[in-house]
Amino acid sequence: MKINFEKYSSIKIGGEAEVVEIRDRSFEPRGFFVIGAACNLLVSPNPPPLAILSREFDYLRYDGELLVVGGACKSGKIVSLCRSRDLGGMEFLRGLPGSLGGLIAMNAGLKGREIFDRLKWADFGFGRVLADEIARGYRFAKLPGVVFEAAFELDRGYDRGLEAEFDAVRSRHPKEPSAGSCFKNPPNGFAGRLIEAAGLKGFAIGGAAFSEIHANFLVNKGGATFDDAISLIELARERVLSEFGITLELEIKVL
């Protein structure tokens, strides 16, 4: 199938590329970059070979003990089910876009909560691996393959207070297309503050800019190209390194 990343990706950058659909768990991912909902990607006009889980992996069910979710299921559906079944632990996924596979690969989270907190096991095709056996850290997980399915242990009681807290955080984020945080926060610091201190808050190259609202969001103000975004990223890394001696590590994946 063909995917137009200018439409599909959350940052609305990229051209059209051929993407192989993964229809069963015997798929051999070697040589492919597996994408999810492309909410954390910056895709060039010439990406590597790409693959994506087919719709067969877009499901979720709660069996009274575990929430079992297919790798292609979107975060919004997970939160909706938790809300309607009064289950707690996944409230932070509200407004955090992505598919289950991408959420686990990035160990996505907000305000001290992350997807691995409730993960029990993930199925990589060759079998299930317990969450405790998967190395992970801040916005990173060392996965042994493609996430086809995963199970979560949740609490009774969806927390609407937490939901309101997370909504408040989201309301302070830019509204233009982005891929979320551009850089990871360095130890004991904030990437956004460093970008701002380097004089780049609101700075634009072509259609891409570091948001005036939150400097660590690289936003598409309209018609941004891959080259615009990459030039901004390089500029920020150079300036922050030369002015503060800190190397910013990308959170978004550049393909």
**Per CB under 6 A, 37 contacts ligand FAD:** yes
Give catalytic residues, as residue numbers. 139, 181, 251
**Per CB under 6 A, 44 contacts ligand FAD:** no
**Per CB under 6 A, 36 contacts ligand FAD:** yes
CA distance 192 to 238: 15
**Per CB under 6 A, 96 contacts ligand FAD:** yes
The DSSP bridge partners found for residue 34 are: 51
**Per CB under 6 A, 185 contacts ligand FAD:** no
Q: Which is nearer to ligand FAD, 146 or 151 (CB)?
A: 146
- Confirm if 118 and 154 have CB atoms less than 8 A apart: yes
Task: Give the contact letters, 110-139, x = binds to ligand FAD (CB under 6 A), - = no.
Answer: x----------------------------x
Q: How many CB atoms lie within 10 A of CB 238?
A: 12
Interface residue with ligand FAD, options 13, 19, 35, 93 (CB under 6 A)? 35
CA distance 92 to 179: 17
Structural tokens at position 218: 């690289």
Q: How far is CA 55 from CA 8, 24, 165, 219, in A?
A: 15, 11, 32, 29
Angular region, 238: left φ>0, alpha ψ -120 to 50, beta rest: alpha
Binding segment for ligand FAD (CB under 6 A), chosen from 43-51, 78-86, 95-103, 233-241, is 95-103
Interface residue with ligand FAD, options 67, 68, 105, 240 (CB under 6 A)? 105
- Confirm if 67 and 154 have CB atoms less than 8 A apart: yes
Structural tokens at position 69: 């979710």
Interface residue with ligand FAD, options 47, 70, 89, 102 (CB under 6 A)? 102
**Per CB under 6 A, 40 contacts ligand FAD:** yes
Contacting positions for ligand FAD (CB under 6 A): 10, 33-41, 53, 71, 96-99, 101-103, 105-106, 108-110, 139, 143, 146-147, 178-180, 253
